[in-house]
Structure 1
Amino acid sequence: MTTDNAYRVDTTSRLAQWRIDNLASCTYRKSDPFKIGKWNWRLVIEKNRNLYIKLYPEISGLTKETPPIASFIIRVVSSLGGRKALVHPEIRDKQLKTSDDFVWALEVPLTGKFIIDLEFLDLKTASTNGGESCSVWTEGLTQKDLRSTAISSLGKMLSESIHTDIIIHASDGSMGAHRAVLAARSPVFQSMFSHDLKEKEMSAINISDMSIEACQAFLSYIYGNIEEQDFLVHRLHLLRAADKYDVVDLKEACHESLLEDIDTNNVLERLQIASLYRLEKLKICCMQYLVRFGKIFDILEEFDAFIKTADRELIAEVFNEILSVWKGF
């Protein structure tokens, strides 16, 4: 490891890893800054009688005004004698301001190479008006982008079924909508209404591959009044609908959202979704999470099932990534 690399922390959306090749010659090491959420972070190792690991945000105007409230899991993974991990008890909603706010003392001596693995479960900012803290990863789609009176009125047209002129039939229910709005937001809908197709003649669209709740979320996005929680709950259905009806901004919103909470429980599903819907950033992040960040070792049984059923080309890409990483060691 070069001198520069000795301080570098590798990151993905919520995961950071600091690789330590040799600590015998020093008693103190501070990482380069790395960004997760809104803040730049530092990891520090102090070697005395015990080994101390510290995590804190860099001092800045943002940190002083809105110090992060962090939930995270931190591990030390050693390759000595097999891949062994020391895991700190999960931290929940801890406000971090200084280098003394989180200190982990390891009484077990570490030799050889090891990795400090830091996975953020959530990051929040305290409310300035005394309300509840707000996660930086779920800050409002509606609050940021959908504030205008015109958009609110458009949403009201849907929610109150004002002068609807077409019926949407989902798998377990129906609701009214407006041809003009659908056509303006989707070239597929526009084509349906512009040509002599059955949808134009019957004033109805069958979306049988979506439940009524998912369909309502889809239409709410199109009309601009979707709630953040509905977006998160239905985002896989929304992604499929966005791809099917060519709603480009919705597909990108789902893509960005799926990048933000990759973990061992969903990474293989996300990888297949990325391949199916041609989401290149998501595919790269999933493969990095599995291979470069070593999370494949945590889900070997699930990965074995994955390689038996997944697309052959996708499996080949994963193994090419594995070979590429191994060549680097």
Structure 2
Amino acid sequence: MALMMSTDGGEEMMKCVSCKEEYEAEDAGTCRECYEEASETEEELKREIEELKSKINFLRFWTPHRSTTPCFTDVLLLPVDADSGKPLPNSVPVPANKAVLASRSPVFKAMLETEMEESLSGTIRLSDVSYDALRAFVNYLYTAEACLDDDMACNLLILADKYEVKHLKTYCEKFLISKLIWESSLISYSFAHQHNAHNLLDAALSLILDNMDKLSKREEYMELVEKDPRLLVEIYEAYLSKQTNTAAAATTTSGG
């Protein structure tokens, strides 16, 4: 309970139950600073709870219908060269369980429920993936955790997009957004566009639009001019839209 007191001027003061500082008796129990801090903490806890719920949801097994195969058997994931189809040097098959793969990825589920080569042979061959990234990918399917750096986050995001593992894709996007800087924003924008990473795309675009005066001076800009000019068109369209909205808002404010 807050302690109420009076000042010599007759104003009622209270002592905050949190910080023990005196404040005007407009709120009950805590001063405004402590109240706002508590609200921020509450919001942060809510976000953490939502993330944990999402993680628990992801880790739940998919339960097959009675009409389908009652239980999947083990399977091997093999990283192979995209051109030759041969196993990558210094790599070995990564063991996994079909039930886990099917419950985490709609792509694996479709692959394993039909009489495709992967289902019949017990080996799934994955191209364009390193052995380390594949191991990290399988580990995430079991634990919903991964040790990330920039390269691993990109590699796992590519796998997550290809095999529709949304939880992993969001996880990698959050990491890459936290590392996003102006110098890498064009590369990140192009990468996000290629792999349908919408959150990363928006974050990179926002950073680019804030630094449009420096855009054409970047080496990556010239590379996009040659390789993928449509992305630059999208950036300039977004910039024009932003300028138009800013001008309209300024006109409305001055008119009011």
| TM-score past 0.5 threshold | yes
Q: Is the counterpart of residue 165 in structure 1 residue 74 in structure 2?
A: yes
User: How many Å apart are 1:264 and its aligned residue?
Assistant: 2.4
Structure showing greater Rg: 2
User: How many Å apart are 1:225 and its aligned residue?
Assistant: 5.3
Provide the rounded CA distance (Å) in 2 between the counterparts of 1:320 and 1:169.
43
| Structure 2: gaps (5+ residues) | 1-31, 39-43, 60-72, 80-87, 248-256
Which one has more relative contact order, counting CA pairs under 8 Å at least 6 apart? 1
Q: Is the counterpart of residue 320 in structure 1 residue 229 in structure 2?
A: no
Alignment of 1:122-201 (within 5 A): 165-170=74-79, 171=88, 172-201=91-120
Higher helix share: 2
Residue 62 to residue 210, structure 1, CA distance change in 2 (3 Å): farther
TM-score (norm 1): 0.47
Alignment of 1:7-26 (within 5 A): none
Provide the rounded CA distance (Å) in 2 between the counterparts of 1:319 and 1:274.
17
Q: Is the 8 A contact 1:217 1:231 kept in 2?
A: no
Whichever residue aligns with residue 169 of structure 1, its letter is L
1:281 to 193, 199, 212: 199
User: What is the aligned partner in structure 2 of residue 207 from structure 1?
Assistant: 126
Q: Is the 8 A contact 1:296 1:303 kept in 2?
A: no
Q: Secondary structure at the match of 1:177?
A: strand
Q: Is the counterpart of residue 309 in structure 1 residue 226 in structure 2?
A: yes
Residue 286 to residue 230, structure 1, CA distance change in 2 (3 Å): closer
Question: Runs (4+) of structure 1 moved beyond 6 Å?
Answer: 61-64, 145-148
Whichever residue aligns with residue 313 of structure 1, its letter is R
User: How many Å apart are 1:321 and its aligned residue?
Assistant: 2.6
TM-score (norm 2): 0.59
User: How many Å apart are 1:302 and its aligned residue?
Assistant: 2.1
User: How many Å apart are 1:281 and its aligned residue?
Assistant: 3.2
Q: Secondary structure at the match of 1:262?
A: coil
User: What is the aligned partner in structure 2 of residue 219 from structure 1?
Assistant: 138
Provide the rounded CA distance (Å) in 1 between the counterparts of 2:122 and 2:92.
16
Whichever residue aligns with residue 168 of structure 1, its letter is L
Q: Is the counterpart of residue 263 in structure 1 residue 181 in structure 2?
A: yes
Provide the rounded CA distance (Å) in 1 between the counterparts of 2:176 and 2:55.
24
Alignment of 1:287-306 (within 5 A): 287-291=205-209, 293-294=210-211, 297=214, 300-306=217-223
| Structure 1: gaps (5+ residues) | 1-57, 65-135, 152-163
Query: Number of matched residues?
Result: 187
Alignment of 1:42-81 (within 5 A): 60=34
Whichever residue aligns with residue 166 of structure 1, its letter is V
Whichever residue aligns with residue 249 of structure 1, its letter is H
Provide the rounded CA distance (Å) in 1 between the counterparts of 2:220 and 2:113.
47
Provide the rounded CA distance (Å) in 2 between the counterparts of 1:225 and 1:283.
23
Provide the rounded CA distance (Å) in 2 between the counterparts of 1:296 and 1:282.
22
Q: Secondary structure at the match of 1:317?
A: helix
After superposition, the CA RMSD in angstroms is 3.7
Provide the rounded CA distance (Å) in 2 between the counterparts of 1:275 and 1:283.
6
User: How many Å apart are 1:296 and its aligned residue?
Assistant: 5.3
Q: Deviations over 1:129-150 (max 9, x none)?
A: xxxxxxx9xxx9xx957998xx
